[in-house]
Amino acid sequence: MRDFFLAEEDRSFRAEVRAFMSRELAPKVDAIERDQDFGAQLAIIGALGETGYLKLMFPDLYRGALPKPGLTHAVIVSEEAAFLNYAFETTVATALSCAYPIHRFAQEALRERYLMPILEGQSLGSICMTEPTVGSDSAGMETRIRFDEGTSEWVVSGLKRYVSNASKADVYIVWGVTDPYVPPQKGLTAVLIPAGVKGMSFPRLYDFMGRRGSIVGEVAMDEVRVPEENLLGEVNCGFNIMLCAFNFERVILGGSGLGVARAAFEIASQHAQARVSFGQKLGQKQLIWDMIAQMSWKIDAAELLTHRAAKMYDSGIDGKDLMREASQAKLVATETAVFCADRTVQILGGDGVTRQYGKAEQLYRDARTLPIVGGTSEMCKYLIAARELPSIRLNL
């Protein structure tokens, strides 16, 4: 049975979201992929905001009919969006990943000002961790954040790279070092920087093989000043905020991987049942149904792990207690997306690598970023193993 962990209300929610995506997103996927039309994405995000779906993970904010909104529903939104267009899904998922620390760690005034516009689809958010010298080793970042006692402001200097929604976002959550004389786990701080402040610039936007239409770039900060209340949580507690943000992002990435994997699988299974080769349907060949069977169980495994992690989060489990499950969901779902996209291209033969014959080649390009973003597969394996081997210290 698919959707094993989902309740009846989750399933009817999925039907609602699927209808929304086929009405609003499906007609625009070509403009997003081919013309990199960001305006089209913003229009859909605005419509999505009106439905209330973006408030789903924040039960205290959601005024809709659903009794139990949570990360499960956010995963469903991601899965249904990624099924049609992964680039669009990343724009939304990044905004949600920015909304999460604001909701959980910002002071009330900051939440009022910056959270609601994101959840109403009127504003975009961005999270800035990665730097030229550190990606996986995010605790080793070099961006500096200091407090100016004279003006009561946080002053931020540094360069972040590979930042999704860079230059398009209205709000940036930036991590930096506040105390360089302690281990990074005790010396990082996160602050909120609104777009348009003096000293912030976007020196470079990247051109990726996949996710065409999503915007990813560098964010440079030269003595950027923000008020004292723009601090998230406590000073020097940014590492814990990062761990929670990663859990949240990784479970959502489970939904992204599932959406891409399902889209590929649908193309492969249709082709295997339609195409005739050597007098038989392709799907009747053992080498082909082996690939179909592998895709099928991998997708189910990814779905079970992703929905389990989302349900755990919804029941109040987070931080270190969710790290293993969030990492498993992200690892399996994103590797499944790559596997399914690759085998789909193979099953389609020439049609799989041709832009004129459907979406297989796009899915192949799109899927490849999934095991890299939000913590690579190797980092996910490390986190899983570290939880499974508590009595020894794993070398990174």
Which residues sit at the interface with ligand FAD, rule CB under 6 A? 94, 127-130, 135-136, 162-164, 208, 211, 216, 369, 372-374, 376, 378-379, 396
The minimum distance between CB 330 and ligand FAD, in angstroms, equals: 11
d(CA 54, CA 51): 8
The minimum distance between CB 279 and ligand FAD, in angstroms, equals: 44
Place of tokens 């402001």: 153
With respect to ligand FAD, which residue has the nearer C-beta, 70 or 125? 125
With respect to ligand FAD, which residue has the nearer C-beta, 72 or 327? 327
3-class secondary structure, 228: helix
The minimum distance between CB 371 and ligand FAD, in angstroms, equals: 8
Long-range contacts of 18-25 (CB under 8 A, 24+ apart): 18/80, 20/47, 20/48, 20/51, 20/53, 20/80, 21/80, 21/81, 21/83, 21/84, 22/84, 24/48, 25/81, 25/84, 25/85, 25/88
The minimum distance between CB 286 and ligand FAD, in angstroms, equals: 34
With respect to ligand FAD, which residue has the nearer C-beta, 173 or 231? 173
d(CA 146, CA 18): 46
With respect to ligand FAD, which residue has the nearer C-beta, 41 or 130? 130
Q: By Cβ distance, which residue is nearest to ligand FAD?
A: 135
The minimum distance between CB 98 and ligand FAD, in angstroms, equals: 9
The minimum distance between CB 247 and ligand FAD, in angstroms, equals: 15
The minimum distance between CB 105 and ligand FAD, in angstroms, equals: 17
Instruction: Using alpha carbons, list the distances in angstroms from residue 59 to 54, 64, 67, 116, 244.
Output: 11, 10, 9, 13, 18
For residue 219, list its beta bridge partners.
Answer: 160
With respect to ligand FAD, which residue has the nearer C-beta, 13 or 100? 100
CA angle centred on 11, ends 7 and 17, rounded to 5°: 140
CA angle centred on 160, ends 157 and 163, rounded to 5°: 140
CB under 8 Å to 93, separation ≥6 — which residues? 78, 249, 252, 253, 256
With respect to ligand FAD, which residue has the nearer C-beta, 163 or 192? 163
The minimum distance between CB 379 and ligand FAD, in angstroms, equals: 6
Determine which helix (DSSP H) or strand (DSSP E) holds 220, and give its type and residue range: strand 216-227
With respect to ligand FAD, which residue has the nearer C-beta, 55 or 211? 211
The minimum distance between CB 285 and ligand FAD, in angstroms, equals: 35
d(CA 201, CA 194): 12
With respect to ligand FAD, which residue has the nearer C-beta, 171 or 288? 171
CB under 8 Å to 262, separation ≥6 — which residues? 79, 83, 299, 340
Amino acid identity for residue 59 in this structure: P
With respect to ligand FAD, which residue has the nearer C-beta, 39 or 140? 140
Place of tokens 């940014």: 238
